[in-house]
Homo-oligomer: A and B are copies of this chain.
Amino acid sequence: MKRVVTMRDVAKKSGFSSATVSIVLNDAPLARYIPDSTKKRIERTAKSLGYRPNLFARTLRSKRSHTVGVMVFDMTDPYCTLVLRGIENSLYPSSYLPILTDAHNERERFERYLEMLLDRRIEALIVLANWLFVNIDVLADLESSSVPTVMIGRELQNPSVSSVMVDNELGAQIALEHLYSLGHHKIAFIRGPKALADSTQRWKGIRALAKAKLLELNPQLILNLPESSDPMSSFEAGYQLTEELLKQREPFTALMAFDDMTAFGAIRALANSGLHVPKDCSVIGFDDVAPSSLYTPALTTVRQPMEAMGALAVSIALEAINAVLDKREIKAVHRQIAPELIIRESTRSLL
């Protein structure tokens, strides 16, 4: 039953009032007038008593929670992990604590967790909009919240929400360029679900590059992932679409998948038909999720710099927090970040 030491204890023991203690320990503006000798004494007794300020009292009074909310739409998506690592890592030195919530792609959870986060007076919110199919209007709640918000993986119309995205157009081009330069001209495509913004952006890149290279895109070899709220489903869908593709008997020497999961599904389907990757068919993915490098064959893919994206989101959020502290206007910023081609074992030259 060791009573917890309070500020009053420090005050009493050091011989000053708790006001002085507070001012010193927070290095408040008034600390300017306090002589070093006093400061030292207070700090020493605070330490010797093992004083830890009560966060709840502090927040109640000062309105600052030193907390950042992080909302993910599906934790089990391997895409999340590294982004979260990036967020956590760059939040760590700032002594803000992230509070992570997982909406499970459900509107109800999203709303409930958002409320919980707001109840905890988060000073900023980072939303990881991976594999997101909920209506945009759910996100409208974010506007009203008056908490500075950064969205990763999706750009909102709303002018008050910042965003961090990978350059999807460029990424798709890099991937196609890679296949093309290896001599592949008959390329199958498994595009993403139509509802995903990423899909259209990537396709735009592909069309542009195809045009530039005079590469013909055979409509028979272009399939679309169905919509589903489960990110793992793209494995299953990749598998099935590839089987259909093979049944068509329209020949192709390479396959470009919407993401790594899809690529894994495709590879399985190819293997089932006795086709070896990369000997009989090259496969390229997108994202570079953690398993991709562990796969056999190791997957060639376009890497989203996920840790960097998380870090960037944090820096935007922190900047916004400072802005509201200084009562400056916060303006949303929208950043695109370049992907990187990771060449491994699943693609091979035709030549």
Interface residues on A, range: 35 or more
Question: When A76-B85, A294-B291 are in contact, do A57 and B60 touch as well, CB less than 8 Å?
Answer: yes
From B57, B88, B116, B296, give the contact of A102 (CB < 8 A): B88
Q: Which of A8-16, A48-56, A155-163, A333-341 contacts B (4 or more CB under 8 A)?
A: A48-56
How far is it, in angstroms, between the C-alpha of A118 and the C-alpha of B54 when the chains are bound? Answer: 10
A88 to chain B, nearest CB (A): 6
Residues from chain B with Cβ under 8 Å of A343 in the complex = none
**B-facing residues in A272-312 (Cβ within 8 Å):** 290-291, 294-298
Q: Which of A198-206, A219-227, A260-268 contacts B (4 or more CB under 8 A)?
A: A260-268
**B-facing residues in A73-125 (Cβ within 8 Å):** 75-76, 78, 81-82, 84-85, 88, 92, 97-102, 109, 115-116, 118-121
Verify A88–B75 contact, CB threshold 8 A. yes
Judge whether A17 is part of the interface by a CB distance below 8 angstroms.
no
Q: Which residue of B lies closest to A89 (CB)?
A: B104
Verify B97–A116 contact, CB threshold 8 A. yes
Verify A120–B55 contact, CB threshold 8 A. yes
Judge whether A228 is part of the interface by a CB distance below 8 angstroms.
no
Judge whether A180 is part of the interface by a CB distance below 8 angstroms.
no
Residues from chain B with Cβ under 8 Å of A119 in the complex = 52-53, 55
Judge whether A235 is part of the interface by a CB distance below 8 angstroms.
yes
Verify B296–A268 contact, CB threshold 8 A. yes
How far is it, in angstroms, between the C-alpha of A269 and the C-alpha of B227 when the chains are bound? Answer: 37
Residues from chain B with Cβ under 8 Å of A295 in the complex = 264, 291, 295-296
Judge whether A5 is part of the interface by a CB distance below 8 angstroms.
no
Residues from chain B with Cβ under 8 Å of A134 in the complex = none
Residues from chain B with Cβ under 8 Å of A85 in the complex = 75-76, 102
Q: In this complex, which of A75, A290, A294 has the most chain B Cβ atoms within 10 angstroms of its Cβ?
A: A294
Residues from chain B with Cβ under 8 Å of A349 in the complex = none
Judge whether A59 is part of the interface by a CB distance below 8 angstroms.
yes
How far is it, in angstroms, between the C-alpha of A278 and the C-alpha of B179 when the chains are bound? Answer: 30
Verify A271–B294 contact, CB threshold 8 A. no
Residues from chain B with Cβ under 8 Å of A116 in the complex = 97
Residues from chain B with Cβ under 8 Å of A55 in the complex = 119-121
Residues from chain B with Cβ under 8 Å of A57 in the complex = 56, 60
Question: When A81-B81, A102-B88 are in contact, do A56 and B290 touch as well, CB less than 8 Å?
Answer: no
Residues from chain B with Cβ under 8 Å of A121 in the complex = 55-56
How far is it, in angstroms, between the C-alpha of A9 and the C-alpha of B92 when the chains are bound? Answer: 38
Q: Which residue of B lies closest to A294 (CB)?
A: B264
How far is it, in angstroms, between the C-alpha of A265 and the C-alpha of B295 when the chains are bound? Answer: 9
How far is it, in angstroms, between the C-alpha of A94 and the C-alpha of B101 when the chains are bound? Answer: 15
How far is it, in angstroms, between the C-alpha of A296 and the C-alpha of B276 when the chains are bound? Answer: 11
- Beyond the given pairs A97-B99, A99-B100, A291-B295, 10 more chain A to chain B contacts, judged by CB atoms under 8 angstroms and listed by A's residue number, are A52-B115, A52-B118, A54-B60, A56-B121, A78-B290, A97-B116, A100-B100, A261-B294, A265-B294, A295-B295
5 contacts between A and B (CB under 8 A): A52-B115, A55-B121, A56-B60, A75-B81, A99-B100
- The 6 residue pairs across chains A and B that have the minimum distance between CB atoms: A291-B291, A56-B60, A56-B59, A56-B56, A264-B294, A268-B296
Chain A contacts to B: CB under 8 angstroms: 52-57, 59-60, 65, 75-76, 78, 81-82, 84-85, 88, 92, 97-102, 109, 115-116, 118-121, 232, 235, 261, 264-265, 267-268, 271, 290-291, 294-298
